Amino acid sequence: MQKPKLLLVEDEFDLSEMVTTYFRVQNYDVVAVAFGEEAIEAAREHDFALMLLDIRLPDMDGFELCEKLRQQRRNKDTPIVFLTGQRDRMDKIQGLKLGVVDYITKPFDIKELRLRVRNAINRSKTPSMLHAVTDLPEGDLVREKVGAVLEQKKWALLAFIIDGLDTFRGRYGFVAADDVLRAISLIIKNAVAEHGTPEDFLGHLRSYRLVVITQPDNAVDIEQRVRSRVAQNNNYFYPQTANEAAKDVIKVEAELITQADGPFADVDALIERVTQQFQTDTTVTRLPMGPGITFRRATQEQMAAVVTKPIDDSPTQPTSVPKEDDHALDDTVSTRDDNSNSQQDAEN
């Protein structure tokens, strides 16, 4: 089996030697250079699985180098990870605009770097049916799953829309907005794991619209769990500098459709039904489901289930935004994750 080939562009000799030696032991081929021009020449001669670029180089900065590498046809889609001693938010934003897949701050844990490199390479090999921020399915795969429910006797689609992210992005930047999208999708994912079945499915109808395919008996429990967790974590979606009045931008709304709402002629009719319900308030029934989330539409049976089902309103201590396990490190840069490089590698 051919070894993945890495390009390391780093002018600190000791660090370059350490990274090169470690990755070669881990069964990677490594081409190490210290100058941007050397990197450009190496990229013309080799097909790299991933490039690790230091932002501060003797002859050019990493941003200029990244732009020049992207101009080469063979490297326009090669994953690029930035290495830097800076913690400047603008550096991150500029790198993300250039298509950089990750951003590692020095000093870093070498084992964590290996995990991030491995995940980035694996993701680059995966067909683009996963959302770039949440890594949840999207596109044709979601359409196929939604269409399959029409062949079942009992089913439920629980759709969530995350409203206000465009406004939030305008105020706090797209890196922070990606953090919120990732955190809410993880809340939904965990709710499905807790109250759904192994056959349940979660994916994106659109970037800010997620759909859960489950059974009618589980849909209300999933929705209530999402509502509770969103309310608990609402303050953590915003920068510490945001005042209380500004912490009402993000709204999560839910829509429940079951087989009882049919018949639906085809998958297009079902998806259109979900989309239209989120675009208008004239045909929906709003249920008082608490702060941060509204259960937008339900059948009479669903309404009865929600009204009669006891809701746990006991006070809870706020918790930080949930994160994936260490062995499934998120590869999208987070403004709240500058200290993630100190985490222990779950694969010791």
H-helix segments, the chain:
13-25, 36-45, 62-70, 89-97, 110-125, 140-148, 165-172, 174-195, 216-233, 267-279, 300-308
pLDDT in tens, 85-144: 766 666 666 666 667 888 888 888 899 899 889 988 987 876 667 887 888 998 888 999
Q: At a CB cut-off of 8 Å and minimum separation 6, what does 292 contact?
A: 227, 230, 231, 234, 250, 251, 252
Q: CA triplet 340, 4, 126: central angle to 5 degrees? A: 70
Report pLDDT digits (tens) over 160-209: 999 888 888 888 877 788 889 999 999 999 999 999 998 999 999 888 89
Q: Does the domain at residues 5-126 carry the CATH identifier 3.40.1110.10?
A: no
Please tell me the distance from the alpha carbon of residue 106 to that of residue 250, in angstroms, as a whole number: 33
Classify strands 156-163 and 251-258 as parallel, antiparallel or unpaired: antiparallel
First to last CA, the chain: 24
Q: Compute the average pLDDT of residues 311-320.
A: 39
Q: Which helix (H) or strand (E) holds 157?
A: strand 156-163
Q: Residue 242 pLDDT > 60, yes or no?
A: yes
Q: State the architecture of 140-308 in CATH terms.
A: 2-Layer Sandwich (3.30)
Q: Which amino acid is at 59?
A: D
What average pLDDT score do residues 333-344 get? 36
Q: What is the pLDDT of residues 134-163, one digit of tens each?
A: 889 988 889 999 999 998 889 999 999 998
| Token pair for 163 | 């409203």
Domain boundary assignment for the chain: 5-126, 140-308
